[in-house]
A and B are shown apart, each in its own frame.
Chain A
Amino acid sequence: MTPGTDARSGDFRLSMLLYDTRYRSFTLQFIALVLVALAGWWLVANTVANLKALGKDFSFGFLTVRSGYDINQRLIEYTSDSSHGRAMLVGLLNTLLLAALSCVTATIVGVFAGVLRLSENWLISRLIGFYVEIFRNIPLVLWILLIFAVMTESMPPPNAFRGENATSSMLFFDSVAITNRGVYVPEPLFDRSLGNIDLGVFLVSIDLLAIIAVLSVCFWAWRRLKTQASAVQNATGVRPTTWWKSILIFVVPLVALKLALGFHLGMPELRGFNFAGGTYMRNSFFAMWVALTLYTGAFIAETVRGGILAISRGQSEAAFALGLRPGRTMSLVILPQALRVIIPPMISQYLNITKNTSLALAVGYMDLRATLGGITINQTGRELEGMLLLMLTYLVISLIISMVMNWYNARVRLKER
């Protein structure tokens, strides 16, 4: 690997820094370091000079100043008297909400589409192929604008739902209303609510925490049940019947919780000129959600298809030879192996969704970029600080997502020796 090692160490010449492989990498790294340091120094010096010329300083103090603008869609308490920092938090939560919902729905759509594209049914596989190609080859911005236009231009106004001969009707047993102002869906209500915890920054509903806690306990119990069943199977060769226990483990605590909290759905109703009650999703949010779901779903479909195709036919043939039924072949043999192929590209799809939420700009959804990177920057004139903070936030979200998904990936990875 290192020609010239026979050179005596005594007579070091300057040209050896370039020609001797022992020293060359040091030289190159040193040059790179100097260049990067110079570039960094140049940028910082320019920035300082420019800021000075504009009479600005570099501080994040604007985050505590009164914002003075309203945000029409928010998950936490916010008024125009709140600070810019809080506006940023509202935007961040909106971004995260959109990203999380889109990740879930895009995964569902993608998995279905990916499996159906492999279907033996000629018609459905062509139909899904058409869906995948058309969404993958047209820019996301166009889809967002198109769906937004469908929502605002083609959906009925609320007064079309009124009267004896209404031209439109609500969907799903009068629970969902799609209007040109947005979508109204039922909201969860609690008669005996447990109230909220004030975290100082925002309120957290105890009801939600209770539901999460109960669900986690259910999951824990369910996993224990499975482990025990496997232990029995390993010892005796017969797997005990567990399906009714599994159902009980999930149903009983949830029903008890529902009764305890007095949970029911609040339906949207037509009152006056508009719908009242229920959860109101703005067109901007809905268009973003649908567009991100369908667009990323098409990419996930290709990932899933590729993952399933990557498993060699011999695997399913071997499983059939062992006497496994097709369903069990899929769940025990094909899917665990396909998942290893599917998960790494899935990570980047989730990251893409999170980053693509910033296209909310096209329809005016108030995400992180619209609050911190838009109105706050315009009002305070702090482009530098605002953009740096914006990029840093996105970077942290991305790193967290990829960390979590990499951890999951490491868990399902083939353990090689």
Chain B
Amino acid sequence: MDQSPFVRKEMLAPKAAPVSETGAVGWIRQNLFSGPLNILLTVISVAVIFWVVTHTAPWFLNGVWKASSLVECREILNGATGACWAVITERWHQLTFGFYPPELYWRPILAFVLMLVALAPVLYPSVPRGMFWFSLLYPLIGFWLLWGGTLWLPVVVLLGPLVGYVVYRMLRSYSSALGMILGAVAILAFWMWLAGPLSKDLQRIFPLAIREVPSRDFGGFMLSIIIGVTGIALSLPLGIVLALGRKSDMFLIRILSIGFIEFVRGVPLIALLFTASLLLNYFLPPGTNFDIILRVIIMVTLFAAAYMAEVVRGGLAALPRGQYEAADALGLDYWRAQRLVIMPQALKISIPGIVNTFIGLFKDTTLVVFIGLLDPIGLSNSIRANAAWNGIYWELFIFIGLCFFIICFGMSRYSLWLERKLKTDHR
């Protein structure tokens, strides 16, 4: 007979946690009611959400989708509260394309789709590298599709780099640096003085053109996207150059970069846009007049480039000195060191700032309304000027705001994804 006291041979199954600590109840207790302050905050939040929902939901849900004027909307609603979404269904094409000829809508749509294709290899590294050639060609294709005119102009512009290369080949045996400089000069000279007349002559001999659309017909989100995307594409390289200039050993280059950056950052964008629309005629040779959209793009680009330069400078400053020294020790010259060692790391560090600048630039495209361009906000004013839609605010503002939100929020999500993807430290 075994005298030893009772000893349990097998483990007891663990008891279930108390109901108040697990599941939905536990989650609510932990996250919403863990203390007096938390309870107060929860009550306030619930009250705010309740107030907002009860005040706006009927208006949203009760909306009228088919009507031809605000008066008709109100008749359909018959005194009840409700939105008049009909203005969006009736005028969405205007908010999107401005006064672009409706029979030519396929051109901006095609340009937009091609833009997404051209962006793919830039945004996603998994896309085949050969697509980069298309991305490089896209500005000319997009320009031709949107503004129309002769096909010979983009073709002749493409010839520019060829001319430059020929000049470079001819001079290379004498001095390669001189060849590069003169090649670049040749490209610029070709574009400035030869491209225009040459494309006109070619057009006379072989007519090959689609209908031309003047800049004043551009508007809506199409205009915002044109200005925004061009500004984004141009401001990053310019910003990098300015940031390098600001950190340069050469006194004069540094002073010029600092002066430019601080001037642009100290002045509101509106002032620069007014300069573009009012003053540019003073600064250019008498009789010159160039496209208002181009002027705006230049100003927006310069503005964003100054901010970009500061963001990139932050990235450069965050890089440990050892990286510069290591690049020097490997015998890399300045540009190789920048391209292979410094910039890939500095740009990775500054991704959030760069994307924030992009988002700011895209939002700033709405300021063109003040110099008379018809961006979505300008179009909302002109829709309201129509007797049928006089007095309609919320629906238009909400629609425009929603579109901007989707684009900008998408950009910030992409930057988070990119940051995670490029993360190399193991923390």
Residues on A lying within 8 angstroms of B by beta carbon are: 1, 15, 18-19, 25, 28-29, 32-33, 36, 43, 46-47, 49-51, 53, 116, 119-124, 127, 133-134, 136-142, 145-146, 149, 153, 351, 355-356, 358-359, 361-362, 369, 373, 377, 383-384, 387, 390-391, 394-395, 398-399
B274 sits at the interface (CB 8 A): yes
Main secondary structure of the interface of B (DSSP, over half): helix
Asked if B409 contacts A355 (CB within 8 A), the reply is: no
Known: A133-B409, A137-B405. A28 touches B253 (CB 8 A): yes
Contacts of A47 in B (CB 8 A): 282-283
A373 CB contact (under 8 Å) in B45, B274, B369: B274
Known: A139-B404, A141-B377. A394 touches B268 (CB 8 A): yes
Determine the distance from Cα of A395 to Cα of B49 in the docked complex, in whole angstroms: 42
- Size category of the binding interface on chain B: 35 or more
Smallest CB-CB separation from B409: which chain A residue?
Answer: A137
Contacts of B249 in A (CB 8 A): 25
Instruction: A121-B34, A138-B408, A373-B274 are known; give 10 further A-B pairs, CB within 8 A.
Output: A32-B250, A32-B256, A46-B282, A121-B38, A121-B42, A138-B363, A145-B377, A369-B268, A383-B279, A395-B266
B397 CB contact (under 8 Å) in A33, A50, A145, A399: A145
Determine the distance from Cα of A49 to Cα of B42 in the docked complex, in whole angstroms: 68
B11 sits at the interface (CB 8 A): no
Asked if B263 contacts A149 (CB within 8 A), the reply is: no
Determine the distance from Cα of A123 to Cα of B33 in the docked complex, in whole angstroms: 11
Asked if A29 contacts B267 (CB within 8 A), the reply is: no
Contacts of A1 in B (CB 8 A): 328
Residues on B lying within 8 angstroms of A by beta carbon are: 31-32, 34, 38, 41-42, 44-46, 48-49, 175, 177-178, 249-253, 256, 262-263, 265-271, 274-275, 278-279, 281-286, 328, 359, 363-364, 366-367, 369-370, 377, 393-394, 397, 400-401, 404-405, 408-409, 412
Asked if A124 contacts B177 (CB within 8 A), the reply is: no
Known: A50-B286, A121-B38. A33 touches B252 (CB 8 A): yes
Determine the distance from Cα of A120 to Cα of B178 in the docked complex, in whole angstroms: 64
Determine the distance from Cα of A351 to Cα of B266 in the docked complex, in whole angstroms: 8
Asked if A120 contacts B366 (CB within 8 A), the reply is: no
Q: Give the distance to chain B from A154, nearest Cβ to Cβ, in Å.
A: 9
B250 CB contact (under 8 Å) in A19, A29, A377, A395: A29
Q: Give the distance to chain B from A382, nearest Cβ to Cβ, in Å.
A: 11
Smallest CB-CB separation from B248: which chain A residue?
Answer: A25
Determine the distance from Cα of A15 to Cα of B267 in the docked complex, in whole angstroms: 42
Known: A46-B282, A394-B271. A142 touches B400 (CB 8 A): yes
Pull 9 A–B residue pairs with CB atoms less than 8 Å apart, ordered by A: A18-B177, A50-B283, A121-B42, A133-B409, A136-B359, A137-B359, A138-B401, A142-B397, A394-B268
Contacts of B49 in A (CB 8 A): 127
Asked if B266 contacts A394 (CB within 8 A), the reply is: yes
Contacts of A369 in B (CB 8 A): 268, 270-271
Known: A29-B250, A32-B253. A46 touches B283 (CB 8 A): yes
Q: Give the distance to chain A from B353, nearest Cβ to Cβ, in Å.
A: 10
Main secondary structure of the interface of A (DSSP, over half): helix
CB < 8 Å A-B pair total: 152
Contacts of B286 in A (CB 8 A): 46, 49-50, 53
Asked if B285 contacts A46 (CB within 8 A), the reply is: yes
Asked if B397 contacts A149 (CB within 8 A), the reply is: yes
Q: Give the distance to chain A from B322, nearest Cβ to Cβ, in Å.
A: 16
A398 CB contact (under 8 Å) in B42, B265, B285: B265
Determine the distance from Cα of A15 to Cα of B175 in the docked complex, in whole angstroms: 9
Q: Give the distance to chain B from A357, nearest Cβ to Cβ, in Å.
A: 8
Q: Give the distance to chain A from B418, nearest Cβ to Cβ, in Å.
A: 18
Q: Give the distance to chain A from B151, nearest Cβ to Cβ, in Å.
A: 34
Determine the distance from Cα of A25 to Cα of B252 in the docked complex, in whole angstroms: 10
Asked if A50 contacts B400 (CB within 8 A), the reply is: no
Smallest CB-CB separation from B31: which chain A residue?
Answer: A122
Contacts of B38 in A (CB 8 A): 119-121
Asked if B359 contacts A141 (CB within 8 A), the reply is: no
Contacts of B177 in A (CB 8 A): 18-19
Determine the distance from Cα of A124 to Cα of B363 in the docked complex, in whole angstroms: 27
Asked if B48 contacts A127 (CB within 8 A), the reply is: yes
Smallest CB-CB separation from A152: which chain B residue?
Answer: B393
Contacts of B409 in A (CB 8 A): 133, 137
Contacts of B283 in A (CB 8 A): 43, 46-47, 50
Asked if A137 contacts B266 (CB within 8 A), the reply is: no
Asked if A139 contacts B270 (CB within 8 A), the reply is: no
A358 CB contact (under 8 Å) in B270, B284, B359, B401: B270
Determine the distance from Cα of A160 to Cα of B97 in the docked complex, in whole angstroms: 43
